[in-house]
Amino acid sequence: MIGAMRDVIVAANWKMNTTPADAAELARTIVSRTREAGVIRVICPPYVCLAAVGEAVADEDPPVAVGAQNVHHELAGAYTGEISAPMLASLATWVIIGHSERRRDAGETDELIGRKLGRAVGAGLRPILCVGEQLADREAGRATDVVDEQLAGALEDHEPTALADAGLVIAYEPVWAIGTGRNARGSDASEMADAIRSTLEHHGWGSRTAGVPVLYGGSVTSANIDEFFSEPAIDGALVGGASLKPDEMAGIVARAGMTARARGAAR
Ligand code: PGA
């Protein structure tokens, strides 16, 4: 599959922001301003806002997907305060896994993230697996090695077919770019997307590799999104801070629409 065939995706990671009432309102405003054919829009609000956002966007055309920001690695049991994949299945169709804030704050390891991936896929959720290096890794020239290790650790117990069929998406989010206002360069993101696809090939993904969407995340705004969509290896964005601002989302998704149209014309 060539790049032109891959999905174009803009995913909003609202993190720990909004109440159910504001989330529904914000979702309605954003979706009404981001209707672009060929762009998959995904809104990932806090767990407690999933139902409200789902209802708010239910009649949207093109449709809007709702995603969770995390999922537990077990199906059920004595895990106070946690949420499992089967619980999410009627509220969301996507899930973010392995976000760097969870690696940092909840000590998530690649092995645990791999288990979460399995649970997500088992419940029919489309996973966005986040990977990315720290600043010190990049400065030491180890960025691709770190991302390679994260991917290998998360993917090692999974059959490529199962994850490819689930529509696995990989988000490259350099940790030093998240919430800092300091975005990576488009060329760095593109090089990393190529490295990610090489890692997948190395792990037996074969021709499925070319169909895996790779998103960039880290201080994406309407002002810098062009830099990422200008790179054919990048298929979209995972947007944090700017995803809470309707004007920003309108600009970002409009630029995504240009890529979707160009890819459609190339088919
Ligand atoms: P940011 O967050 O856009 O605020 O940098 C991105 C993310 O954490 O997914």
The domain ranges of the chain are: 2-266
**What residue spans of the chain are helical by DSSP H?**
20-32, 50-57, 85-88, 100-105, 110-122, 135-139, 143-155, 160-165, 186-202, 225-229, 246-266
- Does 150 score more than 50 pLDDT? yes
The predicted-structure confidence for 48-76, as pLDDT tens digits, reads as follows: 999 999 999 999 999 999 999 999 999 99
pLDDT at 267 (0 to 100): 72
Average pLDDT, the chain: 96
Is 74 a catalytic site residue?
no
Q: What is the pLDDT of residues 117-149, one digit of tens each?
A: 999 999 999 999 999 999 999 999 999 999 999
Ligand 1: which of 176, 239, 243, 245 to mutate, judged by most atoms within 8 Å of the beta carbon?
A: 239
Q: Hey, what are 41's tokens? A: 């829009």
Residue 38 above 70 pLDDT? yes
Q: What is the pLDDT of residue 234?
A: 98
Query: Could you tell me what percent of the chain has a pLDDT over 70?
Result: 99
Our mutation pick for probing the ligand 1 site, out of 135, 173, 221, 244, counting the most ligand atoms within 8 A of Cβ, is 173
Q: Return the CATH number of the domain spanning residue range 2-266.
A: 3.20.20.70
- Can you give the pTM of this predicted structure? 0.97
